[in-house]
């Protein structure tokens, strides 16, 4: 058996695909032959994704999605079916942070992070699951964070949702394994994206000291793990959380 990853003939849906890790995942799945729908929160963002796909010779399109709106999700799902085919690879990547010390955290900071990072995973997955059970094949991959396992001061809301999606994945994996559907979680460490660019230089240096590989990860290094899980090569991995963090947190 040789390791050949091809996603030809599959339709993949990647939320939050306009930049960072989501963009790298969408591009990687596309480069392996999948038809990819990458979502963005604005029309402009969706157009940029479409343009990027066209430049890279990737089949698919960018589409607008508000992951907190059931209506928006239903509309997107119908559009994907209409334009392409049913998506059987779902990558729940869209996420936000609203950091604050718990004693100062407002209800809105808690609620909006839970809505976008956790409740949206429930809604997206439920929407796509019917087609996957019918196809007797499916891949659901949640993007979590190392913070969901090790915790981080000022991120209790974010950490709760990132631990939450991993528990969600384990339960769902047990529920639908008999239908040929795998559900996994990928937990990135500190990756070189807009989300980590805002860190102060001193904090960045301190962080690097805790990473055995001595550098931040690249978005493509998360995307390649997602691609493996999405492919037939990763078909016996389910309910698992795969940490990709340069060794800063080892389980």
Partner 1 sequence: MSSIEERVKKIVAEQLGVKEEDVKPEASFVEDLGADSLDTVELVMALEEEFETEIPDEEAEKITTVQLAMDYIKDNLG
Active site residues: 158
The residues pairing with 14 across neighbouring beta strands, listed in sequence order, are 38, 91
Stretch that binds partner 1, among 50-58, 105-113, 170-178, 187-195 (CB under 8 A): 170-178
What does each C-alpha distance from 128 to 46, 96, 139, 181 come to in angstroms? 20, 22, 10, 11
In angstroms, give the least distance from the CB of 120 to partner 1.
Answer: 21
Q: Of the two residues 136 and 215, which places its CB atom closer to partner 1 in the complex? A: 136
Q: Residue 226: which H helix or E strand, with range?
A: helix 219-230
Task: Decide if residue 178 touches partner 1 (CB under 8 A).
Answer: yes
In angstroms, give the least distance from the CB of 177 to partner 1.
Answer: 10
Sheet containing 35-40, strands listed edge to edge, beginning at the edge strand earlier in sequence: 60-64, 35-40, 11-14, 89-92, 138-143, 181-188, 241-244
**Interface with partner 1 (CB under 8 A), residue from 19, 170, 179, 210:** 179
**Interface with partner 1 (CB under 8 A), residue from 81, 126, 130, 215:** 130
Task: Decide if residue 170 touches partner 1 (CB under 8 A).
Answer: no
**Interface with partner 1 (CB under 8 A), residue from 133, 152, 196, 224:** 133
In angstroms, give the least distance from the CB of 31 to partner 1.
Answer: 34
Q: Locate the DSSP E strands across 111-176.
A: 138-143
Burial class, 22, CB count within 10 angstroms (exposed 0-12 / middle 13-18 / buried 19+):
buried
Footprint of partner 1 on this chain (CB under 8 A)? 130, 133, 175-176, 178-179
């Amino acid at each position: 058996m040789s390791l050949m990853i091809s996603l030809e003939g599959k339709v993949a849906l990647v939320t939050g695909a306009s930049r960072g890790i989501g963009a790298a995942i969408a591009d990687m799945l596309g480069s392996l032959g999948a038809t990819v729908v990458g979502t963005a929160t604005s029309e402009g963002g969706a157009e940029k994704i479409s343009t990027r796909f066209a430049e890279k010779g990737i089949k698919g399109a960018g589409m607008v999605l508000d992951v907190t709106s059931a209506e928006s999700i239903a509309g997107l799902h119908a559009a994907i079916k209409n334009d392409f085919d049913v998506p059987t690879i779902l990558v729940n990547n869209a996420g936000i942070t609203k950091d604050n010390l718990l004693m100062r955290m407002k209800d809105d900071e808690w609620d909006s992070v839970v809505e976008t990072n956790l409740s949206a995973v429930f809604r997206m997955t439920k929407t796509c699951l019917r087609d996957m059970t019918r196809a007797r094949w499916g891949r659901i991959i949640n993007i979590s964070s190392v913070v969901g396992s090790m915790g981080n001061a000022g991120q209790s809301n974010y950490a709760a949702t990132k631990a939450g999606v991993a528990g969600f994945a384990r339960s769902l994996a047990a529920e639908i394994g008999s239908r040929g559907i795998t559900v996994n979680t990928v937990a990135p460490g500190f990756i070189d994206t807009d989300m980590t660019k805002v860190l102060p230089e001193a904090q960045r240096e301190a962080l690097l000291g805790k990473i055995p590989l001595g550098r931040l990860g690249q978005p493509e290094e998360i995307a390649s793990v997602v691609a493996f899980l999405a492919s037939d090569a990763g078909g016996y991995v389910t309910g698992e959380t795969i940490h990709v963090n340069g060794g800063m947190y080892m389980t």
